[in-house]
């Protein structure tokens, strides 16, 4: 694996506001890399600097060995871009947009009709942009981002504002892009999206990257806690739970216990305790931390705040 995107020490200010500061990371060939953080954290600014739409004040960026500022037209031939909250002309038809975009690139475009079919837009090819649903618009923008058979695809807040079902459809499409051997760089403020899609993520807040790794390793590193929630009416249960070595806290609320501990063996130990003491349970759930918890731990606030 070699990096297709290299970002080093990038800083970008708008007047007195520092949007992005000392941002450095690499994106490897063929992976889905996610830049995650709340709105206004600097995700879009970082992405647009890499796409050549903005010029950083400091730092260096290289994409496919090109400088996004100096070689912007060469770069745009080889990347596909979906912008946050972009629109098209209200009354442009779906096929016209695809046809127009395929005429903008020097190299031969992929078959537009085929692309529309793959994205489930074939029956909408004659519809005006303004009459498409949110999910259809985003799929059209994916089509436009793929029309030049790009090596790297940039997706900025692709599923924001979509219903859960359209979101899942889009996720499958993005995985499909990776399977065609392309590198995907995306931003999102949805932790579930990052967890399900991304091979690696970088967490950004206030313009700085605070950590970067695979979602699983980030969780393991920052949130090793595990919880088991179970329901039992056994009177000695609480005492037994407290005796488990890996347990850190036990709380009880009318027969529902929440048992907290840490480490990979924790859940196994709870199960062993239940079976050895023949404690009868009517409910049993494990709660594993996710990226949402990692974010909370690292920043002290929820990503939604």
Partner 1 sequence: MMLRGLWKLTWIEIKIFLREPLGAFGTIGFPVLIFLGLGRAFARGQAPSSFAATGFIRVGLPVLASILISLSAVLSLVTIISIYREGGILKRLRATPLRPQTILTAHVIVKLILTACSLALMVLAGKRYYPVGMHIPFFSFTIALLISTWSILSIGFLIASIVPTARFAQPIGAVILYPMLAVSGLFVPVASLPPALHAVAKVVPLTYAVSLLEGILRGDAWSTHLSDVVALAVVFVVCTGLSAKVFRWE
Residues contributing to the site for partner 1 (CB under 8 A): 51, 53, 73, 76-77, 81, 83, 85-92, 96, 99-101, 103-106, 128, 144
Which is closer to partner 1, CB of 105 or CB of 284?
Answer: 105
Q: Closest distance between partner 1 and the C-beta of residue 106, in Å?
A: 5
DSSP state of 154: E
Which is closer to partner 1, CB of 152 or CB of 191?
Answer: 152
Give the C-alpha distances (Å, rounded to integers) separating 160 from 58, 85, 190: 30, 9, 8
Pairing of strands 256-262, 247-253: antiparallel
Q: Closest distance between partner 1 and the C-beta of residue 102, in Å?
A: 9
Q: Closest distance between partner 1 and the C-beta of residue 118, in Å?
A: 21
Which is closer to partner 1, CB of 29 or CB of 99?
Answer: 99
Which is closer to partner 1, CB of 104 or CB of 236?
Answer: 104
Rg (CA), the chain: 24
Q: Closest distance between partner 1 and the C-beta of residue 256, in Å?
A: 50
DSSP 93-118: BHHHHHHHHHTS-SSPPP-HHHHHHH
Which is closer to partner 1, CB of 39 or CB of 89?
Answer: 89
Please tell me the distance from the alpha carbon of residue 82 to that of residue 91, in angstroms, as a whole number: 20
Residues 6+ positions from 299 with CB-CB distance below 8 Å: 205, 210
Q: Closest distance between partner 1 and the C-beta of residue 194, in Å?
A: 23
């Amino acid at each position: 694996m070699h990096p297709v995107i290299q970002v080093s020490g990038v800083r970008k200010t708008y007047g007195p506001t520092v949007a992005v500061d000392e941002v450095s990371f690499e994106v490897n060939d063929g992976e889905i890399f996610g830049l995650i953080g709340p709105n206004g954290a600097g995700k879009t600014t970082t992405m647009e600097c890499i796409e050549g739409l903005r010029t950083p004040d400091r730092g260096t960026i290289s994409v496919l060995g090109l400088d996004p500022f100096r070689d912007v037209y060469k770069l745009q031939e080889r990347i596909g871009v979906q912008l946050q909250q972009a629109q098209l002309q209200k009354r442009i038809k779906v096929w016209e947009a695809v046809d127009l975009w395929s005429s903008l690139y020097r190299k031969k475009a992929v078959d537009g009709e085929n692309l529309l079919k793959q994205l489930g837009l074939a029956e909408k090819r004659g519809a005006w942009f303004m009459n498409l649903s949110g999910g259809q618009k985003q799929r059209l923008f994916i089509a436009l981002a793929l029309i030049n058979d790009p090596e790297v695809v940039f997706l900025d807040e692709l599923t924001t504002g979509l219903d859960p079902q359209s979101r899942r459809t889009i996720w499958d499409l993005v995985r499909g892009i990776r399977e065609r051997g392309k590198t995907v760089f995306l931003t999102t403020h949805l932790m579930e999206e990052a967890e399900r899609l991304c091979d690696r993520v970088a967490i950004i807040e206030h313009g700085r990257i605070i950590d970067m790794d695979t979602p699983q390793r980030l969780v393991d590193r920052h949130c090793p806690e595990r919880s088991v929630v179970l329901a039992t009416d056994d009177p000695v249960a609480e005492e037994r739970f407290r005796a488990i070595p890996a347990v850190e806290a036990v709380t009880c609320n009318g027969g529902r216990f929440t048992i907290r501990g840490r480490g990979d063996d924790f859940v196994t130990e709870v199960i062993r305790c239940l079976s050895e003491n023949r404690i009868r349970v009517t409910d049993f759930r494990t709660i594993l931390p996710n990226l949402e918890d990692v974010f909370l731990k690292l920043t002290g606030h929820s990503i939604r705040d």
